[in-house]
Structures are given as C-alpha cells and as structure tokens.
Structure 1
Amino acid sequence: MKTIFITATLFFLTFFTLSIHAQDTNSSTINDYVVLTKTIEQLQPIILTAKALKQDEGVNFGKFEVIICGKQIGDITSPEKMGDFISKANAAGVQIIACGFSLNKFKVNKTKVPKEIITVENGILYNFQLQKKGYKSITL
C-alpha cells in the first residue's frame, strides 16, 4: 500500500512539475502574425491591432505582416488612399506585402508600388508558408 502511495505521489509531482515547466516555456515564445486582406481600409484596424499586441506581449512580440491581395490591389499605388498607412505600419513594426499575382492579374503598374511595400509572387502561397513557420494567421 505504501509503495502505491509513494508511486502515485511521485507520478503527480512529476506530472505537475512538467506542466508548470511547459507553461514557463510558452511564456517566452515569440509570436509572429500574418493578416491577409483585400482592402486598404482594413490597414487602420490591422495596424492598431499590431500596436496593441506589441504592447501586451513586449519581448514576445515577433513579426507582423500584412498581405494585400485581390482586385483592389491597385489602391496601394494611390497616395490618397494609402495616406500615412506606410509610416504608421513602420512605426508599429508591421510589414506590408503586395501579392504579385494580384498585381499582374489587375494590371497594376509595379513601378508605382511604394518602395516600402514588399512584393511576393503569390500572396496566398506566402501566407500558407508563414503559417507553416508558426505564424498566427487571419484573413479579412
């Protein structure tokens, strides 16, 4: 009977110690994010979200990327529509990315894409690749 009690106690202590250690490990995990959007108007709430996450997570906040795809991709070449989103994104640690497939499909002049915006060949594929790397993802 004593042996069963001692074995059970050791089992529970080991289990709870490992559980607590796992929680400690998770608290130092870097969180990376990717958002796929079809409209420039979504940049404002996306940037605000990134700023809030950066403040909440501190050193655990990693990369935050926004991929713009779809038929409104041409809006990224309009200074009036982009406003100061690029400077706000940079200040918040947000990288804006344009989908090359959408730029081609909707015949957007790539030379007019702001230099701060990175272009990838296929935004949807890029999103999946980031998810494979552990990025938390949402599509708006």
Structure 2
Amino acid sequence: MIKKQISIFLFLLFASMVAIAQTTGEDNLLFLLRKKEHLAQALVTAEQLRSSEKTTTINPGEIVIILCGEEVKMLTEPSSVDLIKNAERLNVNVVACGLSLNKFNLSRQQLLPGVRYVTNGFIKAFELQKQGYLSVEL
C-alpha cells in the first residue's frame, strides 16, 4: 500500500513539474517566409516579443527565420546588410534555403555574413516543428 502511495505521489510530482516547465518555459519560434517584405515584418514581431513591455503570453526563446523561394536572393545583396544586422541584434537566426539558392544559381558563399545555411529549408522547418517550435508560414 505504501509503495502504491509513493508511486502515486512521485507520478503527481513529476506531472506537476512538467506542467510548470511547460507554462514557464520559453517558446521557440519559426517563421518560414517566401516574400522579401515578410522578413522585415518578422523582425518587427521579434522585437515586439522580446520587448519588456509586451502584452502577450509568448515568451520567446530561439527565433528562426527560414527564407525560401526567389526572395532568398536578398540574403546575398548588400542592400540587406542592415536587416541581417538587426536580426543579429535581436538574436534572431536568419537561414537561407539551399534548394532555393540552387534554383537561382546562387552559392552558399554568396550569403551575407550572419546568414545561416541549410540544405533544405522545408526539412529544417519540419525538424524544428517536431522539436515543438511554434511556426508561421507566409
């Protein structure tokens, strides 16, 4: 009888610890983007979420932005340096999709400093979603 009570107590203790961790933990976020203007909007969103004056239940941890499609070209252009620097300031990881780079005859070496690379943006997005990242696709 005592073993059963101890087992129940330990189970309830463990369950409550998991619930507390889930409600007080950080929310990792993923933006999967295909349009140039969405990158700037995602960075504004990241800044608002990281602000101490936020009015949301989202507690941002890691924020990843994966850019796919033709707009991946912008991640190689000098005109995007300020966007990438802003992302770094906000502790946001900007990632270029290798499939998209290949499609537009761009190489990994052409990416601006601070931009990360993945071979396949869709697979990376699936992996992050599987890890529990909250995601938005635009």
Question: When the two structures are superposed, what TM-score results if normalisation uses the length of structure 1?
Answer: 0.76
CA distance in 2 between partners of 1:40 and 1:53 (Å): 21
**1:89 shift after superposition:** 0.6
**1:25 shift after superposition:** 4.2
CA distance in 2 between partners of 1:108 and 1:68 (Å): 14
CA distance in 1 between partners of 2:95 and 2:21 (Å): 31
In percent, how many aligned pairs have the same letter?
Answer: 31
**1:24 shift after superposition:** 4.5
**1:44 shift after superposition:** 1.3
CA distance in 2 between partners of 1:125 and 1:24 (Å): 31
Q: Where does residue 131 of structure 2 map in the other structure?
A: 133
For the 8 Å contact 2:108–2:117, the answer to whether it is kept is: no
Q: Where does residue 78 of structure 1 map in the other structure?
A: 77
Q: Where does residue 63 of structure 1 map in the other structure?
A: 62
Give the 3-state SS of the residue equivalent to 1:42 in structure 2.
helix
Give the 3-state SS of the residue equivalent to 1:84 in structure 2.
helix
What are the ranges of 5 or more consecutive residues in structure 1 without an aligned counterpart?
1-17
Paired amino acid for 2:84:
I
CA distance in 2 between partners of 1:61 and 1:99 (Å): 23
CA distance in 1 between partners of 2:26 and 2:46 (Å): 14
Question: When the two structures are superposed, what TM-score results if normalisation uses the length of structure 2?
Answer: 0.77
Higher-Rg structure is: 1
Paired amino acid for 1:74:
K
CA distance in 2 between partners of 1:38 and 1:98 (Å): 11
Where in structure 1 do 4 or more consecutive aligned residues deviate above 6 Å?
A: none
Aligned residues: 120
Paired amino acid for 2:24:
S
For the pair 1:37 / 2:33, whether they are aligned, the reply is yes
Q: Where does residue 87 of structure 1 map in the other structure?
A: 85
What are the ranges of 5 or more consecutive residues in structure 2 without an aligned counterpart?
1-12
Instruction: Give the root-mean-square deviation of aligned CA atoms.
Output: 2.3
Paired amino acid for 1:42:
H
